[in-house]
């Protein structure tokens, strides 16, 4: 029968809108406004999952985000989300939910054998066994444990949904929209402060949505909520965010919110993101997160049908669902009595109210009497029966001495329990505040403020609707004043009814059962029992952190919100130490589990990291170039013609450049404009080389070290004017070189009159290299005499190119005649296309980074980051010529004189030639003296670069080799898995060692 546990009327559900959904394949009905949990309960379904370790049948325990049992997988349109709380999943037409951690079915689960074997599986059992035989851990034990553990099935396919991100500011953030939160928002909003009110639930109102036993300003709580929301909605300075969890409280009042946007909609608007991350800087925060009810720890307290009392009341009043036909109410505090009364009034038979206390308030007892409800005092539940649902509860009478005698049993199909209330201090704790034990409240409450926040209402241990409202108003008013300095005359609403109750219990209840045979659950989700906590203590785990980690209590998806206090009390008793001496574990973000996609937002694919493109990018793409990632840049790697692989393409490009000419996009190189009267002095200090005597119009290769003395960057620097230099850096080093220069300039040498500007993005740079380079560029150059005498190697001049302003460098990274044409970036593509046409006309080609690497290696030019690795000095690299001998100081000079940097046997840059010219060494391969080095032999060096060189007609390699320069002509070995490769040490310059071609 459909929805047979639905009440005739009442609740916040829309009875006109039926919704069909499925659970484990069964088609069921509910109403709009239901959660999956309330709809299942309306259909009489309590058992919704199996527990983590023992695979025990489990039912819905709560009505909120702390739910430990009712975790389901939800499937829609090919996407699958595991571990969603049925208490938070809003019902929509066609919702498809599946129970978890069971095989083959929820009703019959083979894993349930674990429950029978449970004596073998106490807390931490796995630390004590599975050690023999040693190899079985990887192959046998661990795979079994892994398959048994875990909850839901992981998503298999790439997520189809989108996620969004929003940065926001506000004066007052109010977290939680129960009575305290709504009052705080109303009070703060009245001052004109910018207010954001968020609540994790679908509907604002919190506990007021299920409160029927009170009035506020003469209205029912629900009417008052609706009025309050209308008021807030009408205000421009207020943002209301239902379905939004404040999950993280970071330094300086930075609060992260996760807003769920489409999960509750049957057919989501494809233009909407699934969830949105709010990164919010709030001047003040009001934490009105409420409190949650504690389960009672008694034997077999985990059967389906057993739930928190307030949850039972919420299902009734808010969702119009009766949790059963006959309910036993077990409690240690007053609030559960109201649940019993509400259920009785709705026609649910109350088997009894069993109160742990000897003398519950008279007033409650007389109301119970009036309704004909049996009341048992000093009474505890000592056990339950029922296979997939509770069918009977055993009762016990607690004597003054604490011993328990059986008091018979009671048939029931549901059991509502309340161990009292635990204020939700998670966010406060995340704000780095330290909670303080409050004896009167029997709870940990927020202590000193570390950030600009205040807790209000039951999250700081206040109960009673009127007190909570008043506290909320005051908190909102104070927060607004603190944030904006403004205040307003705030109208306070007054409530009657829903008085503060008393009572509560912590820890395991006494019982008359055989302690070794029963399980009283503390942490439902992780299957941690009171016994487990005691065992941990027995084994010497005396800190709550040890107990938590050893038993896993409090490590479930509710982060111990339900279990912490009970676990702590059990530990405290076992240790015979006050609760406060045992300690409390720290609450971490996120408050409730938060979707990865919500963090990653739009940062996927090309948005994962910005793509930097050169002016020739489109042309290169159209020409089927292969690209490589260098930092954020996409650089053309090589330009294969039909049928060419990388080797063939590179070989062809190399030959064309050496024989004719080639065109290369060098725009990615870093460029820095160094200007000012002290520009030369500044470079003098930053680089190893001397700069003062460099003539205007001349260039020089510059080498940069860190203060430790190691090479960190290099590049060509041109002197544009007496007081102006054009500095180039490596592609990857550009930002750090610029930052380093700024650092020295601003903080060490502020007296220098120099400005530096990054111009990397300012210029497009086309390099034309090869014997015909001059011929190719000449037609387009104006204002510069290109003749070798007027414009020799290492020159720079300003003119125009294709009619646009240009800085023309005559430099070479290939060993051929070379020009680098710097034009304003916006003209880059035009210049590239013009040159490409001209180069092709002369029989040349475009070439990519791979060919550039080969050509420079043939000349023995280093690449910083390939020949160097942060441990190489100029001398190691054979570049002492780049050090200004007369300079008293430069960055790194002192570092170079340290003992190890001047020691013998340093690794030096050399060339290597394989005996077999066809063999190309692998880059990174090690070098040893012996052809058959024993394992553990220290390497003498490694291959830094290795290529087939078309110009040399053989393979070549550069390497760093211990004492390498002294070994020229000697044979060393490169040990490979299939045998050593003999190599001869040479100088690092293979091609045109005299450099004749440069000057052509």
**Region 109-138 residues binding other proteins, contact defined as CB under 8 A:** 119-120, 122, 125-132, 134, 137-138
Instruction: Quote the least distance from Cβ 424 to other proteins, whole Å.
Output: 17
For other proteins, the closer of residues 358 and 707 by Cβ is 707
> What does the chain come to in residues?
1000
**CA dihedral for 647, 650, 656, 658, sign (positive or negative):** negative
β-pairing verdict for 26-32 and 795-801: unpaired
Q: Are 82 and 548 in contact (CB under 8 A)?
A: no
Under rule CB under 8 A, which residues in 151-190 are in contact with other proteins?
151-159, 161, 163
Sole binder of other proteins in the list 888, 905, 953, 994 (CB under 8 A): 888
Which tokens go with 68? 């430990």
Instruction: Quote the least distance from Cβ 519 to other proteins, whole Å.
Output: 11
Q: Packing angle between helix 309-319 and helix 335-345, nearest 10 degrees? A: 40
Under rule CB under 8 A, which residues in 785-824 are in contact with other proteins?
none
For other proteins, the closer of residues 167 and 362 by Cβ is 167
Count of C-beta atoms within a 10 Å radius of residue 356: 25
Residue from 294, 368, 371 nearest 331 by CA: 294
For other proteins, the closer of residues 121 and 492 by Cβ is 121
Instruction: Quote the least distance from Cβ 238 to other proteins, whole Å.
Output: 24
For other proteins, the closer of residues 708 and 752 by Cβ is 708
281 scored as a contact of other proteins (CB under 8 A):
yes
CA angle in degrees (0–180, nearest 5) for 675-681-686: 90
Sole binder of other proteins in the list 25, 270, 578, 899 (CB under 8 A): 899
**CA dihedral for 959, 965, 966, 971, sign (positive or negative):** positive
Instruction: Quote the least distance from Cβ 891 to other proteins, whole Å.
Output: 9
CA distances in angstroms from 87 to 65, 70, 523, listed in the order given: 7, 7, 18
Q: Which residues pair with 438 in a beta bridge?
A: 443
Q: Is 515 helix (H, G, I), strand (E, B) or coil?
A: coil
Site string for other proteins, 738-777 (x = CB under 8 A): -x--xx--xxx-x---------------------------
Dihedral Cα 333, 339, 344, 348, nearest 10 deg: -110
Peptide bond into 953 cis (omega under 30): no
Instruction: Quote the least distance from Cβ 899 to other proteins, whole Å.
Output: 4
Site string for other proteins, 826-865 (x = CB under 8 A): ---------------------------------------x
Site string for other proteins, 421-440 (x = CB under 8 A): -----------x--------
For other proteins, the closer of residues 487 and 557 by Cβ is 557
Sole binder of other proteins in the list 191, 795, 928, 949 (CB under 8 A): 928
Tokens 């829609």 correspond to 76
Q: Are 75 and 98 in contact (CB under 8 A)?
A: yes
Q: How far apart are CA 565 and CA 547, in angstroms?
A: 13
Instruction: Quote the least distance from Cβ 331 to other proteins, whole Å.
Output: 29
Instruction: Quote the least distance from Cβ 464 to other proteins, whole Å.
Output: 34
Under rule CB under 8 A, which residues in 955-974 are in contact with other proteins?
none
| 638 φ/ψ angles, rounded to the nearest 5 degrees | -160, 165
885 scored as a contact of other proteins (CB under 8 A):
no
Instruction: Quote the least distance from Cβ 628 to other proteins, whole Å.
Output: 5
Instruction: Quote the least distance from Cβ 605 to other proteins, whole Å.
Output: 6
Measure CA of the first residue to CA of the last residue in the chain; give whole Å.
96
Q: How far apart are CA 704 and CA 718, in angstroms?
A: 15
Q: How far apart are CA 651 and CA 135, in angstroms?
A: 51
Which tokens go with 11? 């609740």
User: Among the candidate windows 472-480, 797-805, 918-926, 989-997, which touches other proteins by CB under 8 A?
Assistant: 918-926
For other proteins, the closer of residues 134 and 693 by Cβ is 134
Per DSSP, which regions of 732-814 are E strands?
755-758, 763-769, 781-782, 795-801, 804-810
User: Among the candidate windows 6-14, 141-149, 664-672, 778-786, which touches other proteins by CB under 8 A?
Assistant: 141-149
Instruction: Quote the least distance from Cβ 808 to other proteins, whole Å.
Output: 30
Under rule CB under 8 A, which residues in 442-481 are in contact with other proteins?
450
For other proteins, the closer of residues 223 and 923 by Cβ is 923
For other proteins, the closer of residues 348 and 579 by Cβ is 579
Sole binder of other proteins in the list 236, 439, 576, 900 (CB under 8 A): 900
The set of residues, in sequence order, having a beta carbon less than 8 Å from that of 151 and lying 6+ positions away, is 52, 71, 82, 83, 100, 101
For other proteins, the closer of residues 350 and 654 by Cβ is 654
For other proteins, the closer of residues 172 and 340 by Cβ is 172
Instruction: Quote the least distance from Cβ 562 to other proteins, whole Å.
Output: 15
The set of residues, in sequence order, having a beta carbon less than 8 Å from that of 132 and lying 6+ positions away, is none
The set of residues, in sequence order, having a beta carbon less than 8 Å from that of 144 and lying 6+ positions away, is none
Site size with other proteins, rule: CB under 8 A: 127
Sole binder of other proteins in the list 27, 234, 236, 252 (CB under 8 A): 252
For other proteins, the closer of residues 648 and 721 by Cβ is 648
For other proteins, the closer of residues 367 and 611 by Cβ is 611
Q: Are 360 and 334 in contact (CB under 8 A)?
A: yes
104 scored as a contact of other proteins (CB under 8 A):
no
Instruction: Quote the least distance from Cβ 816 to other proteins, whole Å.
Output: 24
Residue from 65, 72, 2, 66 nearest 39 by CA: 2
User: Among the candidate windows 89-97, 489-497, 545-553, 836-844, which touches other proteins by CB under 8 A?
Assistant: 545-553
Q: How far apart are CA 466 and CA 606, in angstroms?
A: 54
Which tokens go with 548? 């938590």
Q: Are 509 and 404 in contact (CB under 8 A)?
A: no
Q: How far apart are CA 461 and CA 500, in angstroms?
A: 10
Sole binder of other proteins in the list 543, 580, 618, 880 (CB under 8 A): 543
Q: Are 58 and 50 in contact (CB under 8 A)?
A: yes
Instruction: Quote the least distance from Cβ 790 to other proteins, whole Å.
Output: 39
Q: How far apart are CA 923 and CA 857, in angstroms?
A: 13
Instruction: Quote the least distance from Cβ 908 to other proteins, whole Å.
Output: 16
Sole binder of other proteins in the list 236, 606, 622, 978 (CB under 8 A): 606
For other proteins, the closer of residues 174 and 575 by Cβ is 575
Q: How far apart are CA 225 and CA 227, in angstroms?
A: 5
For other proteins, the closer of residues 254 and 881 by Cβ is 254
For other proteins, the closer of residues 120 and 234 by Cβ is 120
CA angle in degrees (0–180, nearest 5) for 696-701-703: 125
Under rule CB under 8 A, which residues in 15-54 are in contact with other proteins?
52
Which tokens go with 447? 């202590």
887 scored as a contact of other proteins (CB under 8 A):
no
Under rule CB under 8 A, which residues in 64-93 are in contact with other proteins?
79-83
Under rule CB under 8 A, which residues in 557-596 are in contact with other proteins?
557, 559, 588-590, 593-596
Count of C-beta atoms within a 10 Å radius of residue 154: 10
975 scored as a contact of other proteins (CB under 8 A):
yes
Instruction: Quote the least distance from Cβ 912 to other proteins, whole Å.
Output: 14
């Amino acid at each position: 029968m459909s929805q047979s546990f639905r009440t005739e009327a009442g609740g916040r559900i829309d009875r006109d809108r039926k919704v069909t959904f499925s659970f484990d394949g069964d088609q069921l009905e509910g109403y709009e406004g239901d959660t999956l949990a309330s709809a299942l309960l309306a259909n009489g379904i309590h058992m919704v999952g199996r527990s983590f370790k023992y695979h025990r049948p489990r039912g819905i325990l709560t009505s909120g985000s702390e739910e430990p049992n009712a975790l389901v997988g939800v499937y829609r349109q090919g996407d699958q989300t595991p571990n969603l709380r049925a208490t938070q999943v809003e019902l929509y037409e066609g919702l498809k939910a599946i129970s978890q951690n069971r095989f083959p079915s929820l009703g019959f689960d083979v894993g349930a054998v674990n429950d029978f074997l449970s004596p073998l599986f106490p807390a931490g059992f796995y630390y004590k066994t599975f050690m023999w035989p040693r190899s079985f851990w990887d192959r046998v034990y661990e795979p079994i444990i892994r398959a048994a553990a875990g909850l839901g099935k992981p998503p298999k396919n790439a997520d189809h949904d989108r996620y969004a991100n929003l940065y926001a500011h506000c004066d007052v953030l109010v977290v939680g929209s129960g009575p305290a939160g709504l009052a705080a928002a109303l009070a703060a909003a009245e001052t004109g402060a910018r207010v954001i009110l968020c609540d994790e639930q679908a509907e604002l109102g919190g506990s007021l949505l299920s409160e029927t036993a009170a009035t506020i300003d003469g209205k029912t709580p629900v009417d008052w909520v609706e009025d309050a929301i209308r008021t807030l909605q009408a205000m421009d300075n207020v943002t209301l965010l239902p379905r939004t969890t404040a999950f993280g409280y970071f330094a300086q009042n930075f609060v992260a919110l996760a807003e769920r946007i489409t999960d509750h909609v049957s057919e989501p608007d494809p233009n909407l993101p699934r969830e949105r991350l709010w990164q919010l800087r709030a001047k003040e925060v009001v934490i009105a997160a409420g409190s949650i009810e504690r389960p009672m720890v008694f034997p077999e307290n985990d059967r389906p049908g057993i739930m928190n009392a307030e949850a039972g009341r919420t299902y009734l009043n808010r969702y119009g669902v009766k949790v059963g036909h006959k309910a036993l109410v077990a409690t240690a505090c007053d609030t559960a009595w109201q649940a019993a009364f509400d259920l009785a009034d709705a026609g649910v038979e109350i088997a009894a109210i069993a109160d742990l206390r000897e003398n519950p308030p008279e007033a409650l007892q007389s109301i119970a009497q009036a309704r004909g409800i049996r009341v048992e005092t000093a009474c505890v539940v000592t056990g339950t029966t029922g296979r997939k649902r509770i069918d009977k509860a055993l009762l016990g009478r607690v004597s003054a001495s604490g011993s328990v005698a059986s008091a018979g049993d009671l048939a029931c199909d549901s059991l509502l329990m309340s161990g009292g209330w635990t204020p939700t201090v998670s966010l406060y704790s995340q704000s780095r505040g330290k909670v303080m034990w409050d004896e009167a409240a029997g709870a940990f409450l927020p202590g000193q403020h570390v950030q600009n926040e205040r807790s209000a209402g039951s999250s700081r241990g206040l109960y009673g609707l009127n007190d909570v409202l008043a506290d909320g108003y005051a908190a909102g008013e104070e927060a607004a004043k603190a944030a904006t300095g403004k205040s307003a005359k705030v109208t306070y609403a007054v409530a009657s009814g829903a008085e503060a109750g008393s009572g509560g219990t912590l820890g395991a209840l006494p019982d008359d059962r055989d302690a070794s045979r029963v399980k009283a659950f503390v942490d439902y989700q992780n299957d941690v029992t009171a016994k487990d906590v005691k065992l941990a203590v027995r084994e010497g785990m005396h800190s709550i952190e040890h107990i938590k980690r050893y038993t896993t209590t409090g490590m479930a998806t509710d982060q111990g919100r339900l279990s912490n206090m009970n676990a702590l009390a059990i530990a405290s008793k076992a240790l015979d130490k006050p609760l406060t001496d045992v300690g409390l574990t720290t609450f971490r973000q996120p408050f409730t589990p938060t979707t990865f996609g919500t963090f990653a937002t739009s940062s996927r694919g090309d948005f994962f990291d910005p793509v930097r493109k050169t002016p020739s990018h489109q042309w290169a793409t159209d020409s089927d170039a292969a690209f490589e990632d260098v930092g954020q840049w996409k650089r053309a790697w090589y330009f294969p013609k039909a049928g060419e692989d990388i080797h063939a393409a590179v070989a062809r490009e190399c030959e064309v450049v050496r024989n004719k000419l080639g065109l290369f996009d060098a725009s990615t190189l870093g460029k820095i404009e160094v200007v000012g009267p002290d520009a030369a002095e500044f470079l003098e200090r930053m680089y190893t080389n001397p700069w003062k005597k460099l003539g205007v119009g001349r260039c020089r290769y510059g080498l940069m070290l860190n203060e430790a003395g190691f090479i960190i960057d290099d590049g060509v620097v041109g002197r544009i004017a007496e007081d102006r230099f054009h500095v180039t850096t490596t592609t990857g080093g550009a930002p750090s070189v610029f930052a380093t220069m700024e650092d020295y300039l601003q903080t060490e040498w502020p007296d220098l009159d120099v400005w530096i500007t990054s111009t990397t993005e300012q210029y497009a740079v086309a390099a034309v290299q090869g014997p015909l380079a001059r011929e190719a560029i000449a037609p387009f150059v104006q204002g510069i005499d290109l003749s070798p005498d007027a414009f020799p190697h290492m020159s720079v001049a300003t003119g125009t190119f294709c009619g646009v302003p240009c800085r023309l460098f005559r430099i070479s990274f290939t060993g051929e005649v070379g020009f680098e044409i710097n034009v304003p970036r916006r003209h880059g593509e035009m210049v590239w296309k013009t040159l490409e046409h001209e180069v092709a006309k002369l029989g040349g080609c475009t070439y990519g980074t791979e060919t550039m690497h080969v050509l420079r290696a043939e000349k023995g030019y280093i690449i910083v980051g390939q020949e160097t690795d942060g441990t190489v000095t100029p001398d190691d690299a054979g570049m002492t010529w780049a050090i200004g001998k007369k300079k008293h100081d430069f960055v790194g000079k002192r570092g170079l004189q340290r003992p190890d940097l001047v020691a013998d046997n340093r690794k030096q840059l050399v060339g290597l030639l394989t005996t077999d010219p066809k063999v190309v060494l692998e880059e990174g391969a090690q070098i040893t003296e012996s052809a058959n080095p024993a394992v553990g032999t220290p390497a003498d060096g490694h291959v830094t670069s290795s290529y087939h060189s078309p110009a040399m007609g053989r393979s070549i390699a550069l390497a760093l080799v211990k004492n390498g320069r002294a070994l020229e002509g000697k044979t060393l070995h490169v040990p490979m898995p299939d045998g050593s490769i003999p190599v001869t040490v040479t100088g690092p310059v293979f091609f045109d060692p005299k450099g004749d071609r440069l000057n052509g």
